[in-house]
Structure 1
């Protein structure tokens, strides 16, 4: 059976076909070019450095291409890394289909769409419902195929919709527990909060940020689309209901320094921010813990203050040995 990236142990030779998720040209201290690469397959991604890259190497090894790699699995500053011995583009007859190396959401599009529509049905405020349906239709294909981020959490095909569904399930639990929460507002905000990433990012393969993504960002981008939707649907974009919905999106990063133009000033906006943080953090920890052996620490997670996490010997991921009971 063909080994995946994370099947290889530290110091074990690596050989196989992988996708170049990223291949960024940088300049080393000696003034020579090198490529900062992220190799990817369905098990995840691991970085590597291709030193002394020629102009031809830069032209050949571009993000989105499948390559054959020989190297060694290492750890660098607590993070997995591939030491590259040899790398080339695939030949005729070798794997070239990009999709077979792309990690996907654990649910298919049909199942995610069906569950998400059940939440849309519960958005009982008419204008919120109309706006949500309008934008879901407009960005349907990208919403159900894009990742939720280039790196960190839900960085896989379909990750945006899967992240949204996870938040909706959490939102349902909160609304069931606290009857005063406006369920319709929380659901509408959850569905729209990251939809701007369909404009901010390029797609599920070799994901990059678009010009609009870099210069404007997904929060403002989707707020603009909400206003445009109101104009097309003949809804007053200055009505309180619309302003409250826009506030849900504009405030969901929680702090100004994290990109939100405003901090949450509506209870449901604070809840959405908290649930967004919770789901992203759990996904980052889950991904790293899955790649760590029991009794060891994970790699350091940059987006969680560079912390690493210990995976206990008995973490509930396998059945207990009957002899131990």
Structure 2
């Protein structure tokens, strides 16, 4: 079993690289001259951090072989562009099973944990449940979060491969949204606070199912083909059926919020006040998690720009270090 010797946190411009990395994001992008075709843009990671990378040659061919969640062997060189470093890749291939050491990556129990105290976050979650006054919603939440096995899984899984992507990330993401919702509810009393709180708590339950109650986040076939929103909705329908006489209209509004919490990227966008508020809170928590972690990493490397981010549609400027 090969030992990984080059970690992202120690890479410097000009370094030659021949080592293994985890693919966190992979996408084909067109060159400025569309007739030149496309290049492959990657976000690579190991237990020490993340780095952007590009494959210029045979990008379409490589894109078919490389997917997020895969460990790859990379040969290339670290380059610097406008105070940002990236990895220019000459050769890349999927790692073979015997070449993968899980503790080198975000793959298992070695997954980095969030920085917030778990017990404190659980206290926020339980306090939020106690604020719910609608009996049907309270019975639903008690039946779900009163299940010790479910709560343990909920506290372990990551929120997504792209944000809060670490042990306990789903709990942290949910608590951030709960805290952010309080001033929103104070400013906009027309939003049903009980329904919004319940929707926040349950909007990503599909991630628990998607994870297969497994900290390695191994995706089930259904998770790839259906997605966590639909998985969460199907699971929620089953739980709602176990609550006698649950109000049908309330169930429909809750399901709509869960299904539309990614905004207008799906077939059905938010069409209620609570669904709209949920989608916006989800985006705010997601984007600030991605950008603040990337900014911290850039500052630790003493560079002024992060790599390309989804939230900013490009790099984030973190400022020059004061002399």
Q: When the two structures are superposed, what TM-score results if normalisation uses the length of structure 2?
A: 0.71
Counterpart residue number, 2:298: 292
RMSD: 4.1
Q: Does 1:140 align with 2:147?
A: no
Q: Does 1:269 align with 2:275?
A: yes
Shift of 1:3: 9.1
Shift of 1:193: 0.7
Q: Does 1:282 align with 2:288?
A: yes
Change (3 A) 1:311 1:23: closer
Counterpart residue number, 1:229: 239
Q: Does 1:190 align with 2:197?
A: no
Counterpart residue number, 1:124: 133
Change (3 A) 1:142 1:11: farther
Change (3 A) 1:82 1:230: same
Counterpart CA distance in 1 for 2:88 and 2:123 is 40
Counterpart residue number, 1:11: 14
1:81 aligns with one of 58, 81, 87: 87
Counterpart CA distance in 2 for 1:179 and 1:217 is 33
* Residues 55-74 of structure 1 deviation map (CA, whole Å, 9 limit, x = unaligned): xxxxxxxx799x99998644
Q: Does 1:179 align with 2:189?
A: yes
Change (3 A) 1:173 1:10: farther
Shift of 1:215: 1.8
Counterpart CA distance in 2 for 1:83 and 1:283 is 28
Counterpart residue number, 2:37: none
Counterpart CA distance in 2 for 1:103 and 1:48 is 25
Counterpart CA distance in 2 for 1:8 and 1:185 is 48
Shift of 1:44: 4.5
Counterpart CA distance in 2 for 1:115 and 1:126 is 20
Counterpart residue number, 2:172: 162
Shift of 1:119: 0.7
Q: Does 1:216 align with 2:226?
A: yes
Counterpart CA distance in 1 for 2:90 and 2:113 is 26
Q: Does 1:313 align with 2:320?
A: yes
Counterpart CA distance in 1 for 2:294 and 2:25 is 22
Counterpart residue number, 1:52: none
Q: Is the CA contact 2:114–2:167 (under 8 Å) kept in the aligned structure 1?
A: yes
Unaligned runs of 5+ in 2: 27-41, 56-68
Unaligned runs of 5+ in 1: 25-35, 50-62, 315-319
Q: Is the CA contact 1:149–1:155 (under 8 Å) kept in the aligned structure 2?
A: yes
* Residues 223-278 of structure 1 deviation map (CA, whole Å, 9 limit, x = unaligned): 12222112222234x622222211211221221xx22x422222121111111111
Counterpart residue number, 1:55: none
Change (3 A) 1:140 1:245: same
Shift of 1:116: 0.9
Q: When the two structures are superposed, what TM-score results if normalisation uses the length of structure 1?
A: 0.70
Number of equivalent positions: 284
Partner-residue secondary structure (3-state), 1:80: strand
Change (3 A) 1:135 1:83: same
Counterpart CA distance in 2 for 1:102 and 1:11 is 29
